[in-house]
A and B are shown apart, each in its own frame.
Chain A
Amino acid sequence: MLTLNSITMEDQPVKPRRKSQFVIVARRLSQNSSAVIGFVVALLLALMAIFAPIIAPYPYQKQDLTHSRAAPSAQHIMGTDELGRDIFSRIVWGSRFSLSVGILAVLLGTAVGMVFGALAGYFGRVVDDIIMRFMDILQSIPGILLAITISVVLGPGLFNTLLALSFGGIPMACRLLRASILGIRHQEYLEAATSINASTTRIILKHVIPNTFSPLLVSSTMSIGNVIMMGAMLSFIGLGVQPPTPEWGSMISGGRGLIRTCPWMVTFPGLFIMLTVLALNLFGDGLRDALDPKLKK
């Protein structure tokens, strides 16, 4: 313990730390009220997903056929579906799947896209041509169609849905990173890094990507909302997460036949999808403004 302390003491310079980039961005974000609202709502949704077992009043699969198709009441604040399952509980549990599928699919797509984008942007020429033509092919297929096709091929299930949804994000991440790398490719500091003998991998990971990452961060945040919608859409047509696992899209799908008599079955899950997408988009917008040096005051 003592030795550890002495090391850190020596490591830190005496002077108080100056503001880091992260602090500056966080401060600028906090001044943007819609971004704060977006962040808070997204945070609440995430907390809801994490603490689902505590928050949900009923187990999500518990059927109560005597109370099926019940309208919202004190007992079931969002009503019940045709099998008498509590809709609020199912929404709470469903947030786990919707949010994790959205976030993980975007992370996966962005990561894969980043690898290709970095290679294409850094090496250029033939590598660039091959990778970008491949991305052209991938992008020429409409995103929804691509997700459906891959889902059908891979079959339903959480992991397969995740894969299917991540594919659509690859070309966008790849293009964005490549474009911003082209902007800095001939900067002298990359040449300087070569001249001090940094390896190509090191240059890409330590010098190129950190300098070109911020547009990607914004677009990824914004696309989480879209991917959640696509995930809901997949379950809606019966391809995504399978029942009885609650998922917002499949809940809407299950209730759509009764939309005239029991509108709560589709309204509440729909409302939550909308809320999530809106929150993430607001936050993404704010993040973009905060990261844009031209808007610095």
Chain B
Amino acid sequence: MMPNKSENFLSVKDLVVEYTAEGQVIHAVNGVSFTLERGKTFGLVGETGAGKTSTAKAIMRILPDPPAKIKHGEIFLDGEDLLKISENEMRKIRGFKVSMIFQDPMTALNPIMKVGEQIAEVIRLHNKISQREANEQAMKMLEKVGIPRDRFNEYPHQFSGGMKQRVVIAIALACSPELLLADEPTTALDVTIQAQVLEMINKLKVDFNTSMIMISHNLGVVAEVCDDIGVIYAGEIIELGSKEAIFDHPTHPYTLGLFKAVPHIDDEEDRLNPIAGLPPDPSNLPKGCYFSPRCPLVTDRCREGKIELKEIAPGHFCRCIVKIGEG
């Protein structure tokens, strides 16, 4: 079903992440699979708690264990299974080959370390260079993200939110990673700054020829930067395809619901069109299709067994038996 791993830079196969809390098992990620080519951007879209961040942290192997556990799955980066290699080998990859932009710039920086030092820290952790060279590189990084180099010695509290996010991005890009995991990099920022930051990420991505996974719940952000998109619901990818496929031919009822929920500027709309109901309790997922309790097209057969992801057009996959039949 999925293309062979060797052709792809990153391929995630059947990833399952569970959290254990007070004796309950929380099914955060339930068999996520996707692939990413070098230099491309994959968008992971979904609601809060759908398992987007858990997927990203599983790739970095920084899930807090306990309570989180990667139950099974494979994550191939350049042909190497990240879940099988030792912690020592992983350390060479983390922050160097793969790095992460965190969601909230307010808390992602150490409040009592100079921003320049925080950038220099990652450079020194991965390169055998002197403090002075690292500082010089850190200043260059600051300039690349549009911050004057003489602010090297300032502390995070002296920066605005957008500026802090630039610093976080500078830290993530300091070692020119091959894969960048952007976990809602613009969620904590206001709209004008969002645009600037997205533009900058796009530009830097090209400059560094970085592959990227963009995690977002904002369809506009995804449309701006992604090549391929996976829509994730209750820890499962329910629709997967190129940006054009998803935006022009959304098929899964959930994806359709998401698009309907976005108001259009030319339409007169008094009310938003939300998807009725709430995402299912991840410790007690419904049988059959996880979306069935909220689905307008639900049939009895939806609640019976596991629904498979089926190819409905070349490269466009959907997990719904009502829309595409039994196949």
**CB distance B110 to A207 under 8 Å?**
yes
CA distance A189 to B168 in the complex (A): 10
**CB distance B107 to A196 under 8 Å?**
no
Q: Please give the number of chain B residues whose Cβ is less than 8 angstroms from any Cβ of chain A in the complex.
A: 35
Q: Please give the number of chain A residues whose Cβ is less than 8 angstroms from any Cβ of chain B in the complex.
A: 26
B171-195 interface mask toward A, CB cutoff 8 Å, 1 = contact, 0 = none?
1000000000000000000000000
Q: Cβ of A211: which chain B residues have Cβ within 8 Å of it?
A: 110-112
**Given known contacts A195-B60, A195-B99, A196-B171, is B153 in contact with A187 (CB within 8 Å)?**
no
**Given known contacts A11-B132, A188-B102, A188-B103, is B122 in contact with A196 (CB within 8 Å)?**
yes
**CB distance B94 to A195 under 8 Å?**
yes
CA distance A125 to B64 in the complex (A): 13
Interface of A is mostly: helix
Closest to A18 in B: B154
**CB distance A198 to B150 under 8 Å?**
no
CA distance A125 to B113 in the complex (A): 28
Q: Cβ of A210: which chain B residues have Cβ within 8 Å of it?
A: 112-113
CA distance A196 to B132 in the complex (A): 20
Which of A7, A191, A192 gathers most chain B CB within 10 Å?
A192
Q: Cβ of B107: which chain A residues have Cβ within 8 Å of it?
A: 187-189
Q: Cβ of A125: which chain B residues have Cβ within 8 Å of it?
A: 66
CA distance A18 to B100 in the complex (A): 30
CA distance A289 to B100 in the complex (A): 38
Q: Cβ of B154: which chain A residues have Cβ within 8 Å of it?
A: 18
Distance in Å from the Cβ of A26 to the closest Cβ of chain B?
16
**CB distance A188 to B153 under 8 Å?**
no
Q: Cβ of A142: which chain B residues have Cβ within 8 Å of it?
A: none
**Given known contacts A11-B135, A13-B153, A211-B112, is B121 in contact with A198 (CB within 8 Å)?**
yes
Distance in Å from the Cβ of B137 to the closest Cβ of chain A?
14
Q: Is A193 an interface residue (CB 8 A)?
A: yes
**Given known contacts A13-B149, A13-B152, A13-B153, is B125 in contact with A192 (CB within 8 Å)?**
no
Q: Cβ of A297: which chain B residues have Cβ within 8 Å of it?
A: none
Q: Is A140 an interface residue (CB 8 A)?
A: no
Q: Cβ of B113: which chain A residues have Cβ within 8 Å of it?
A: 206-207, 210
Interface of B is mostly: mixed
**CB distance A192 to B168 under 8 Å?**
yes
**CB distance A18 to B153 under 8 Å?**
yes
**CB distance B125 to A197 under 8 Å?**
yes
Q: Is B91 an interface residue (CB 8 A)?
A: yes
Q: Is A201 an interface residue (CB 8 A)?
A: no
Task: Please pick, from B60, B104, B112, B125, the residue contacting A188 in the complex, using a CB distance under 8 A.
Answer: B104
Q: Is B20 an interface residue (CB 8 A)?
A: no
Q: Is B126 an interface residue (CB 8 A)?
A: yes
Q: Is A260 an interface residue (CB 8 A)?
A: no
Which of B109, B110, B150 gathers most chain A CB within 10 Å?
B110
CA distance A259 to B108 in the complex (A): 63
A54-72 interface mask toward B, CB cutoff 8 Å, 1 = contact, 0 = none?
0000000000000000000
Task: Please pick, from B111, B126, B135, B158, the residue contacting A197 in the complex, using a CB distance under 8 A.
Answer: B126
CA distance A119 to B88 in the complex (A): 22
Task: Please pick, from B62, B95, B149, B150, the residue contacting A191 in the complex, using a CB distance under 8 A.
Answer: B62
A256-292 interface mask toward B, CB cutoff 8 Å, 1 = contact, 0 = none?
0000000000000000000000000000000000000
Task: Please pick, from A7, A21, A198, A207, the residue contacting B125 in the complex, using a CB distance under 8 A.
Answer: A198
> Which A residues between 171 and 199 are near B, CB-CB below 8 angstroms?
187-189, 191-199
Q: Cβ of B9: which chain A residues have Cβ within 8 Å of it?
A: none
Q: Is A133 an interface residue (CB 8 A)?
A: no
Q: Is B254 an interface residue (CB 8 A)?
A: no
Distance in Å from the Cβ of A207 to the closest Cβ of chain B?
5
- A13-B152, A18-B153 known; 11 other A-B pairs, CB under 8 Å? A13-B149, A188-B104, A188-B108, A191-B108, A192-B102, A192-B108, A195-B100, A196-B99, A196-B171, A198-B121, A210-B113
Ordered by A's residue number, 5 sampled pairs between the chains whose C-beta atoms are within 8 Å are A7-B132, A191-B108, A192-B171, A197-B96, A211-B111
